[in-house]
Every structure is written in structure tokens, then in C-alpha cells.
Structure 1
């Protein structure tokens, strides 16, 4: 991974964070000031029984085991007393050993045995935030794009590697109540951390000449959704495929493009705020792409993945319909989560009840809150259909290893 991760004094981190809040973006048509950071939520866990989980008996539990085992590989690298997650919600690594060992002994496809293993090794807890147990659940997928190593012709839109001067500060190493928050910035020649360039500044050339262009895509809307999803599969002009994974971000304020368009009086028809509706709007209004997208100052950097597949922030390959992005401030990665929500029906309007066991293996800039999840749907057209249209209310229950009391 290019770039560096550093630790700085608490005062420096706090000053930098304040600087981010004060920074004024360059003028832009109908642009708003960067929104304040979200108010901190609060997670409340209520111990329940597996019989209380709606639809628990109907799942194909063995399908969640490969995903869980990938997280177990990460947990195995931790010392027994190492904390799993932030604020004690995931206990210690030793609390996970027995469950991981039991999972390795399961036979593929044995749903009854997998169900029995989860019931024997974990205790379910209903999650609730300040507003109660119901939160927001969305979906994401791997964005496919067409690209070339060289700029020219229709290939004009760069995919950037992580700059060497981009730094990330993990505030939990400095502030006890940081709740897993991180801030990003640029290390200047004096050794100070300053706010990184905004999306409009990058688009206008602030990173030109640094050799950061991995490839050039032929569609700016595809690049936009690659930034939103945090991963992509590039089909190159020579016929080869390249997987791209998240390697960093500029740390500036994120605004969902759907919200931007709605604030401009667009996307008023029911269902038009989906990925498909947004794509259609840009197709109908190609000349307004930069005007709209520049309202979000966030920018994502990538690198070529050595593994074929989407890689989550836990650095494991994600499993379609079995991996979920969560807010690391409340939920430890590796945690099995029972989800109850509604999901789009492929190729048809509307949605249907959806209940399934997923593993927390990813995070996202817009995934903030005690009951907030983003379900990974995969990398095919069906995944794009469901992930692009999903968004609504839902509930979930955390499965914590026996012995974890918080």
C-alpha cells in the first residue's frame, strides 16, 4: 500500500480535525458548506434467545461459514488479550478462539451443523441506537468499468493510486473516547498535517504530474460509483481484468450524489434516487456532471488488488450476501450479524422480506451509526440491480462469543 500511516500528538490531531471543520472549499455553483460531523450515536445491546431472531431457522447457515473463517484468519494473528473492535464490544481475541476452531470442523453445505455451531458458540443481542432498534440498511456491489493504461480517445477519467503524502491518524491511539474514528490529511514539507485536496481541486489538476494514474476509464459515472462503492473491476482495452481495492481517501466531507440532486429539485419521481435513477439523470444531463459531483469533496484512492474479488477494510475478500459494512465505532469486524430488512427483487420493481446471517468485514464513509449497515451483494449484474436500488429500514442482532459481556 502506498502512502504512510502515522501517529501524532493528540493536540495535533485535534487541531487538524478542527481545521477540517473550518476549511472553506473553493467556490462552486450552488455549493454548500461542508456539513458538520454526525452526532455520536450510542449502542445498546439487549440479550435475547436465538428463537427470538425472526427467520433464524430458515437461513442456509453454512453459506456464512466461509466468510466467518476469513475473519478468523485475521483474528488468529492477534494475541489472546488483544481487543477485538473498539470500546470493548468485541471482547478479546481469546473469546473468539473456540468459535473459530469449531467453524473449521464444519463440512461445506451442512446447514444444520453450521446453525448448531453458531448457537453453541455465540449469544445473540439485539442492537439499538439512540432512536431505537430500527436503523438504515443499504447495499453495495463491485462497480465494473472499462479502462486503459493510457489516456486517449474515450479513456479520459483517471483512477488514482494513493499519494505518498496522504496520511491517516487513528484517533483511538490518542483519545480514549475516539470510538474508532480516523482522520485523513496531507503531510506538508514542514511536517504538518493539513487538509488534503478536495475533489474539485483534484479534478482541476492538484495531483497532476505525480504519476498516480493507475488507468483511465471511459465513463465518469462509472468512476463515481467506484468511489462510492470503494472497489471496482476494470475490464481493460486489451481484454484483461484488473481488480481495484480501496487504498485511502482524502478525508473531506462526503455528500451523497442523490442527496445533492434532490437538493437541486431533481429526482422527484418515486424510486428515482436509486443508482439506476442517478445514472439516467447524468445520461440526460451530461454537461452538469462536474457541477453536481463536485458538491461532495470526498475522493477515494485505489490500488490493484492481488486477490480476485472485492476486499473489505478487514483486508479479507468479501462474500456476496454474507458480508456487511458497519460502523467500526460500535461493531467489531468479524462479528456475525443477523439481519432483518427488505431487499429489491432482481429484475422486478419493489422489494421482499430478507433475513440472513452476515459477517461484519467492511466499513464505509457513509456507514455511521449504531444500527447502520451496508450489505455486499457481489460483482454481477444482479448485484448491481439489488445494490443500486436497496435502501430502507432494518434491524439486526449481534452474535457475540460466549464470554463477551459488553
Structure 2
């Protein structure tokens, strides 16, 4: 799932450089707050990951590097043991401590993200003038790491013309109608800022005028780099580094003349395309990069070049945010061993929680023995 990730993504905050090349194995007793969490609450998220891992070839690389690198088949024994585990705290603790080894991977910024809900229409009418687009068929995504080891984890996208990969239209061009008339519109929403933030989150719900709810998931990105519009507002004095937040940026966009708001959003050339998820039940979270539905408060976005998807992760931020989560997602602003983003759920309350989340946190990755 693509995201700029709220505070860090909107402001352009970078994680601290980590000089440690390799993680350090630790005892579970060294995990801050380990005995204080309801570990059984993380089991549904872990089982959801296991359901995806079971469908993958055992040799499929899930991510990580060096000691932390794992393949799908490495989780098989732990997944089998978790299948019939009772929802009991002591049993969950014995399970995780006996089937996993804990590795300290460092300390970095922990932010939050959520699944927004927008108002929309299946046709362009009345206030519903901003389109949400499906992936254009000509868009080509490239894993640059397949061509150069030093580009591992980096991707781009574009369109092939005359045998060469050329840049795809940027946000300003698309907003100006570069894709108009091609039938790529999945829905039309009533607020350009809502559409902008939906692209940052990478998934969402659109409540249509006929009462239906359209679930959308990340499909692709246009290949242009992400630019943090919060940084621009700080640089021009409209906001300060201390007051910038998703809510503050939204308020600025709502109060600004439409042309100024559009110009600010267009400074971010990145544009995200979506796909409908008609089989996703309303009580389930959006699909993360792993392909499993995300669980509020228990799903984490990580840098998969450092942390394998599917792995449990102990997050030790300021109390009470010390809990066991599962690496099930990725994001454009998530770079580094300990940089992470916590999924808070969906709706206004989840958005408020995610918008204000920015803590230093130590991360400990649990890897199958």
C-alpha cells in the first residue's frame, strides 16, 4: 500500500540514520513492557498473515536482510501452532516465546495511518467533480533493485514510448484532464482534499449517493516522487513545525482559495491509482501490502527490505503504546530498520488518532526459529 504517512509523509520527516548494520538478538525479558500487553490480541492479525503465507511458494522471499531475511516457508511451523491456539494470554505468551527469536533493530519515528471514508457518486454530478482513477493499462512499474543491487527496495513507473520508459503524467497533468474520457473513473468525490489524502493513505471507503460503500485499495502509483505539502506550509510560515498535522493541513486547504489549495496539492507530483475491492466485508480492514486485511492497532507498515512481511513486531513507544503487532504493510515514507507506521482503523476517530501520532519507538522484530 502506498502512503506518504500523515505527519512524517506530510512534513517530509526522515527517520534517523541507523549505523548498525546487523540487528541484535535479545531475550524477551529485555523487551520494554513485554509482560504488560494482551498478546492474544495480536493472534488474529498473525493468523490473517498465515492465511496469505500458506498460499505462497515456500521459497518466496518476504523481506529482511542478513539475519532478518525470511521466506514464506519459514513461518509454516509457527503458523500451524497458532491455528488452534486458545485466546488466552498465557498460551499466547508461551507461543511467541517458544516459536520466535527477538531482535532489536533500533529506534526511530512511529507514525499512524488509517482508512478514510469519503462521500462520492458513481457519476459526475453536482458537487461530485473530483475523480478517483483506476490504474491505466499502459502504466509500467519497475523494480529498480532487479537491475542494480544498490537500488534494492526502490521502484519507479512510467509509460513505454519508442522502446523507452518515459515519465507518466504528474498530478497537475492528471488533475488537468490528462486521463479524461478514457473511462478510468471509479467514482467521483465532493472534495479534492479528501481525494488527495485518500491517495496518501492508499485505501479507503467511498459512501455513494445510492447508499453503497465502495472499498478501494492501492493499485499503482505514477512513478513521480512524493513531495510533502506540510513542508511547504512550514517553509512559507503558514504553519510551524510544532503545529503541523493532518488536521492543520486540512484546515489550511479548506480555508484557502480553491486555486491556491489546488496549487499546493499539485506541488506533490505523485498520484495514486486504485482498484475496487468488492469482496472485502465492511467489518474488515483494508488490504495491506502482504494481502491480508489490516487489524486496527495490531497491523504495522515497515520497510520490507529490513523487516519481512508477516513477522510479529514488538513496538515500544511511550506507555501505553507498547504492544505486539504484525508487519503487514509498507509505505513510501517508511525507510529504515525501525521506521514504522501503525494502522489505527477507519473513520473519524481513527483519523484523529493517526493524525496526531508521532513518537519515538524502539522496534523488536520476532523471527521464526
Structural mapping, 1:15-34, within 5 Å: none
Residues 337 and 86 (structure 1 numbering): CA distance in 2 closer, same or farther, change over 3 Å?
closer
What is the rounded CA distance, in whole Å, between the counterparts of 1:334 and 1:386 in structure 2? 24
2:234 and 2:241 in contact (8 A); partners too: no
Alpha-carbon distance between aligned partners in 1 of 2:184 and 2:59, rounded to the nearest angstrom? 40
Give the match for residue 101 of structure 1. Answer: 80
TM-score, length-scaled by structure 1? 0.82
> Which residue is equivalent to 1:241?
213
Which residue pairs with 1:163 in the alignment?
A: 136
Q: Give the alignment's TM-score, normalised by structure 2.
A: 0.89
Matched, 1:365 2:332: yes
How far does residue 264 in structure 1 lie from its aligned partner after superposition? Answer: 1.7
Is this contact kept in 2: 1:99–1:121, CA < 8 A? yes
Q: Helix, strand or coil for the counterpart of 1:141? A: strand
Residue 193 (1) aligns with residue 165 (2): yes
Where do 5+ consecutive residues of structure 1 fail to align?
1-34, 128-132, 343-351
> Unaligned regions of 5+ residues in structure 2, if any?
1-11
Which residue pairs with 1:19 in the alignment? none
Q: Does the CA-based 8 Å contact 1:87-1:179 persist in structure 2? A: no
5 Å-filtered alignment, 1:180-329, equals: 180-188=153-161, 190-268=162-240, 270=242, 272-287=243-258, 288-305=260-277, 306-308=279-281, 309-329=285-305
Deviations 1:257-287 (A, max 9, x none): 21121122111284x3111111111222143
1:70 aligns with 2:48: yes
1:367: how far off?
1.3
Question: Would the alpha carbon gap of residues 322 and 139 (structure 1) be closer, same or farther in structure 2, given more than 3 Å must change?
Answer: same
Question: For the residues of structure 2 that align with 1:169 and 1:41, how far apart are their CA atoms?
Answer: 27
1:95-143 CA distance string (max 9 Å, x none): 2111111110212x3122111101000011100xxxxx22111000001
Q: CA RMSD in A?
A: 2.1
Change beyond 3 A, Cα 1:324–1:229: same
Q: Secondary structure at the match of 1:71?
A: helix
Q: Secondary structure at the match of 1:168?
A: strand
8 Å contact from structure 2 (residues 295, 343) kept in 1: yes
Q: Is the 8 A contact 1:160 1:213 kept in 2?
A: yes
Which digits, 9 at most, give the CA deviation of each residue in 1:48-106, with x for residues without a partner?
01000011111111111111112112222333344331535332333211111111021
Does structure 2 conserve the Cα–Cα contact (< 8 Å) formed by 1:181 and 1:329? no
- 2-side partners of 1:163 and 1:383: how far apart? 31
In the other structure, the counterpart of 1:140 is 113
Q: Provide the residue aligned with 2:366 in structure 1.
A: 399
Partner Cα distance (1:143, 1:360) in 2: 21
Match of 2:307 in 1: 331
**What is the rounded CA distance, in whole Å, between the counterparts of 2:229 and 2:208 in structure 1?**
27
